[in-house]
Amino acid sequence: EVEEKVAACLITGACKTGDTRFIREFLICYWHFVDIFPEIISRGSRRLMRREFLEKPSVEKMVDFVRIGIDVLSEIKRDETSHRELWLKTARVVGLSYEDLNRDPYPEVLEITSLVGEDTDPYTMFLRFVAVEMVAEAISKLLLQSSQFRVAVGTNGKEWFNVHVMHEGGMTHEELAFHLAFTFHSGEVTKDAVNGVIQPVVDLFVDAGNRAQRSVEQ
């Protein structure tokens, strides 16, 4: 479902043509979130240290869960910080400066940042992180299938997209976040409930991309 939504997003379809006008707008559109995501993950780690997440029937077990969660978030933050640099690298390839990227964000991107960074329970927080990873992987798969896009960004410009489709051993960020979400959830987990958390985040990414494409066309 996420892949279908990303495939229908106007900006990804436009980027597949290799038109650098749309590729630049894509990079500018989502930069605000890419830039701040590592800090959002850091805040998530700090939230896990709260007393209410430790005061459970099995305190020892919850302490272990929290420790594992913090370790995983530290790993994800390290990778996302690296991915931020790769985003900047792609931007330079298509002629964007750091100042170009720091345009006022679209309202949808501000809403993504607010929603994913919301002070909420670990279950919801981790599922929203899953949504981010799903979107990044779906976009990367879609654009790397396009020879026009690959030519437009070149070898150096493909690195951000490559790292989201080439998983070498171990669990992906998406799988780790899924696992932790369910670990911190005591109730029944259903597909509808999970989609109720993930899909609104995905929809905002798509809405932002649609606005970005239309802004170039105008």
What HEC string does 62-122 produce? HHHHHHHHHHHHHHHHHHHHHHHHHHHHHHHHCCCCHHHHCCCCCHHHHHHHHHHCCCCCH
- Give the helix, strand, coil percentages of the chain, each rounded to 5: 80, 0, 20
| Chain centroid offset of residue 196 CA | 17
Q: Which amino acid is at 39?
A: E
Owner of token pair 């929290």: 66
Cβ 130 vs Cβ 177: under 8 Å: yes
Query: How far is residue 82's CA from residue 189's CA, in Å, rounded to a whole number?
Result: 33
Residue ranges of the chain with pLDDT lower than 70? Answer: 49-68, 167-170
Cβ 186 vs Cβ 121: under 8 Å: no
> Quick one: pLDDT at residue 62?
55
> Quick one: pLDDT at residue 70?
72
SS3 of 190, please?
Answer: coil
> Quick one: pLDDT at residue 96?
97
Query: How far is residue 84's CA from residue 38's CA, in Å, rounded to a whole number?
Result: 9
> Quick one: pLDDT at residue 63?
56
- Confidence (pTM): 0.89
> Quick one: pLDDT at residue 65?
62
CA atoms within 13 A on the CB side of 34: 22
